[in-house]
Structure 1
Amino acid sequence: MAENKTILIAEDSSVILNLTKKILELQNYKILTAKNGGEVIKQVENNKIDVILMDLNIPIKNGMDCTREIRANENKEISSIPIIAVTGNANNYTMEEFKEAGINDYLPKPLDFDMLVQTVKKYTEA
């Protein structure tokens, strides 16, 4: 059930962040946020997170670098968190690059909110 699932939204756009947060809160997810790569790593180390929505173009450390760092974490609970890339530039990356970095799935921008909920559910209900 969504009630006890925590989603980390890594997004530097306040508009997208707040919209995404509202949509997922309506589904009863607990939401944590990070506006840059440094905050992502801090949140992951200090909280139990079930899924990360990772904007690839966040400041300090981009989404691909954050994903690699999370995958390299010695703590199994952290290194195995499902990561969903969120990007308006998916064409800049191949599925191979996503897989190599450790990304489980991706959502193109502009976000389709039904698709967002469906994708998050896929990883929280497994």
Structure 2
Amino acid sequence: MDISNLKILVAEDNPMNTLLMKKLLAKWDIKPDFAANGAEAVDAAKAKGYDLILMDIYMPIMDGYEATAIIRADEDKDKAQVPVIALTASVALDVRNKIAEAGINDFISKPFNQDELREKLEEIASRK
């Protein structure tokens, strides 16, 4: 399935993870936008419509939980309902519960499996 037309925002503060994500998505012909923290992610999500946000949970200035909650409260329902997938190193039960409470749709554990990410992207592309 062609996923190259997906408009994706990657919220990630770690430069190495950003580089890895950029290279991986480029392999699938996706040119995502990047935000270095939750506040930048909120600003980007308000300014532009995305098909998906890949959201790191633990970032400076504003974490992924708070950023997602603000995005979910947007008056523009299309922007408020954008799928958000958390990128997290911790999948402990309390983290899973917080992810759900914040309105995050799904999560991928770091380090993540490329096939798992591709599968989730294809699922989102099929709904467009």
Give the TM-score normalised by structure 2: 0.90
Residue 92 of structure 1, CA deviation: 6.2
Q: Give the total of aligned pairs.
A: 126
1:3 Cα deviation after fit: 3.1
Query: Where does residue 78 of structure 1 map in the other structure?
Result: 79
Displacement of 1:121: 1.9
Secondary structure class of the residue paired with 1:90: coil
One-letter identity of the residue aligned with 1:112: N
- Once residues 49 and 121 of structure 1 are traced to their aligned partners in structure 2, the CA distance between those partners, rounded to angstroms, is 15
| 2:23 is the alignment partner of 1:19 | no
CA distance in 2 between counterparts of 1:15 and 1:80 reads 29
Q: State the Cα distance separating 1:30 from its structure 2 match.
A: 2.6
Q: What SS is found at the alignment partner of 2:34?
A: strand
Q: CA deviation at 1:28?
A: 2.0
* CA distance in 2 between partners of 1:4 and 1:30 (Å): 9
C-alpha distance in 2 between matches for 1:71 and 1:109: 24
Which one-letter code corresponds to 1:7 in the other structure? I
Measured in 2, the distance between the counterparts of 1:87 and 1:95 equals 10
Q: Where do 1:1-126 residues align within 5 Å?
A: 1-91=2-92, 93-126=94-127
* Distance 1:82-1:116 versus aligned 2 partners, 3 A rule: same
RMSD of the alignment, in Å? 1.5
- In structure 2, distance between residues paired with 1:90 and 1:69: 23
Instruction: Report percent identity of matched pairs.
Output: 34
Which 5+ residue runs of structure 1 have no aligned equivalent?
Answer: none
Counterpart secondary structure, 1:81: coil
- C-alpha separation between the residues in 2 aligned to 1:116 and 1:86? 10
Quick check: 1:24–1:117 contact (8 Å CA) kept in 2? Answer: no
Give the TM-score, by structure 1 length: 0.91
How far did residue 113 of structure 1 move? 1.4
CA contact (8 A) 2:46 2:74 kept: no
How far off is 1:124 after superposition?
A: 2.5
Asked whether the 8 Å contact 1:5–1:29 carries over to 2, the reply is yes
